[in-house]
Amino acid sequence: MLTIPMQALSSKMHAPARAESRNGSSTPAAINLSVDQVMVEERAAAFAKRSIKTSAKLAGLKLAISMMDLTTLEGKDTPGKVAFVCRKAMQPMDPRYDVPPCAAVCVYPNLVKPAKRFLGSSGVKVASVATAFPTGLMPLKLKLQEVRSAARDGADEIDMVIDRGQFLSGNYNRVSDEIAATKEACGAAHLKVILETGELQTYDNVRIASELAMRAGTDFIKTSTGKVTPAATMPVTLVMLEAIRDYFYETGIRIGMKPAGGIRTAKQALAYLVMVKETLGDDWLTADLFRFGASTLANDVLMQIAKVVDGNYQSGDYFSLP
């Protein structure tokens, strides 16, 4: 049984104070953060086996598109490439299919300005990775400078990475304090905290890191950078969803979730939506509280939409990359 005193997580965590101000309750002295590996993996596997009727499938596929952070995070990214991604995010498919725009475009900090310019008043948000993505190995002062710069340039959302070395060494206070400082540096921008679950080794660690990030003030928790294998998996995402559920029961605060990396097919995306619905309820079936980190996923979902509407598959050549 793994039980961690909450005061050991950090002296500067924001969420307990917010919880008291909202509902008058105080944070318990300790929370059980142990994860039943067998149960989590069995439940996650069950979600992938659900059958979905055609009408519900089409609605689910369109919902998945509306929740996507269309992402380009390559060393060869240019303003031209970002413009291309922005156009696709604003209109993913021919208008006759009635497909909504994506939730956001995710780019490196130096490309926030062109992304903001291209997206204009479309309603599609600009998300920027920061804090020495993807490793998180940079002095805190420089990380915060990067965050403030991205926010000044117009980023609506900041996707930060935790220092996994510090976390795995048990330095929870330091990790938590960095999240809290990053949240402050974001200003009006929302914060997503990337746990990089593929490097956290155990489900227990994923649960602890999720709890730590939520209590430090994040708006979203996110599985992965997409640069490490494994990235998002159903069991890991379920662990994080259950952490969000328990935190909501305790505080009344809704935290968002973003699985990223490794989700490549429409079938997988629908299984994730089923898992969200059954774990957190319909309130989380919105881009305000659930996102997919997407590059290759978008095209498969669009191909499936065309199949449902037209009765036949279109070639992948009809859909632009990413």
User: Does the pLDDT of residue 6 top 80, yes or no?
Assistant: no
The domains of the chain are located at 16-22+35-318
26 conformational bin, left if phi > 0, alpha if psi -120 to 50, beta if neither? beta
Number of neighbouring beta carbons within 10 Å of residue 70: 27
Q: In this predicted model, what pLDDT tens digit does every residue of 192-205 receive, in sequence order?
A: 999 999 999 999 99
pLDDT above 90 as % of the chain: 82
Which sequence positions are flagged as catalytic?
159, 222, 258
CATH 3.20.20.70 for domain 16-22+35-318, yes or no, is yes
User: Does the pLDDT of residue 49 top 70, yes or no?
Assistant: yes
pTM: 0.89
Number of neighbouring beta carbons within 10 Å of residue 151: 21
Q: In what order do the strands lie in the sheet with 292-294?
A: 256-258, 220-222, 190-194, 157-161, 125-129, 104-107, 68-71, 292-294
Handedness of CA 171, 34, 248, 250 (dihedral sign): negative
Q: In this predicted model, what pLDDT tens digit does every residue of 221-259 receive, in sequence order?
A: 999 999 999 999 999 999 999 999 999 999 999 999 999
Check residue 26 and give its pLDDT: 34
* Share in percent of the chain as helix, strand, coil (round to 5): 50, 10, 35
